[in-house]
Structure 1
Amino acid sequence: MRRALFIAITSLTRAGVEACVDFLEAIAPKLPEFWLPLPVELCRGRSVDLGPLEGYLEPLLNLYYEVRANWRCYSSAEELKRREMAAVKLGSPSGL
């Protein structure tokens, strides 16, 4: 049986994540599985300290806990923090 892959990409802004969550609430329960950019530690039932990144990911975290679907996580907490720091450095006036 052939499996379809669906990837949703959004900016790491609160508005972008909220728009993505609105979309996922409607379609994710109908799909066999759906991958979220959340730490794999979370999907394994461990607590994760995301620091300031948690504010951006809060809508996805709520979705993960409140909507019944076959959620999968594909990033580590450390990888998410590295990406956040890279985005902050790129967006700063001095750059990297």
Structure 2
Amino acid sequence: VSYGMAARTAIWPIQMAREEGIRVGLLRLVTVWPFPDERIRELAGRVGGIVVPEINMGQIVREVERCAAGQAEVLLVPHPGGGIHDPQEVLSAIRRAAGRKVEE
């Protein structure tokens, strides 16, 4: 779940994860509010984990956690300071959410 530039930087890691056989998708928010509570609840009931890359310390992750309501692990990938994520950071979080072993 992401929005803005963070959603764009998630595209490559998603493609790489799919090549590894991980079933993964992207819910790209066009606007942050109103928040898609029902959609997040539905997804949380169907997935093992939800990755939230943000170019800050977590603006929407709390809303995702609230909507997921413990049905799925929510992993924040923060990136403060205005730059974009290293795609490997997002790919590692996707692997963790999928229950794969991740080298630190």
User: Greater CA radius of gyration, 1 or 2?
Assistant: 1
Structure 1 length-normalised TM: 0.45
Structure 2 length-normalised TM: 0.43
Q: Relative to total residues, which structure has the larger helix share, 1 or 2?
A: 1
